[in-house]
Amino acid sequence: MEILTTTQNYSHDDATPCTNDVKQIATLFLPPLYSLGLIFGLVSNVLVVLILIKYKRLRSMTDIYLLNSDLLFILSLPFWAYYAACEWDFGNAMCKILSGVYYAGFYSGNFSIILLTIDRYLAIVRATFTIKLGQLPMASSQV
């Protein structure tokens, strides 16, 4: 039994879905977008800190999650905005450090949202369990 195979020469020279236009569009839109994220993120974190300072009794887990969730992510945005507008001029070591800071902030923000969801679930659905946990002595209250 003989298997017949045929080959055809397909040319995809006319199909170029991604050209250099993507870099030009990114150069125009990413720096303002990252700058807006930086401004709104810093303002929101400053407001959370001011509220925690003014109302010292607000020391719940929710407040701590909101404060820590995106600070690392926000602090790396100016460097990525500069990189989107120009080239990377900060060196290889700084690139690795800022990539680590970016991803640590990104994933810690997601993890904080997960913890916030679990905390709200326990507070609403398992209210009696949460009250029993709240009556247990904590290490910070004994110091």
Profile the chain (143 residues) by mean pLDDT over runs of 10 residues.
Answer: 62 56 82 92 85 72 65 86 88 91 85 84 76 54 42
Q: What is the pLDDT of residue 39?
A: 94
- What is the distance between the alpha carbons of residues 108 and 100, in angstroms, rounded to a whole number? 12
- How many Cα atoms are found within 13 Å in the side-chain-facing hemisphere of 12? 3
- What is the distance between the alpha carbons of residues 103 and 108, in angstroms, rounded to a whole number? 8
- What is the distance between the alpha carbons of residues 56 and 39, in angstroms, rounded to a whole number? 26
By CB atoms closer than 10 A (0-12, 13-18, 19+), residue 4 is: exposed
- What is the distance between the alpha carbons of residues 65 and 117, in angstroms, rounded to a whole number? 10
CA angle at 95 for the pair 43 and 29, rounded to the nearest 5°: 55
Residue-wise pLDDT for 15-49, tens only, equals 555 556 777 888 889 999 999 999 998 998 888 77
pTM as predicted: 0.63
Confirm if 120 and 63 have CB atoms less than 8 A apart: no
Q: Is the dihedral of CA 40, 42, 44, 47 positive or negative?
A: negative
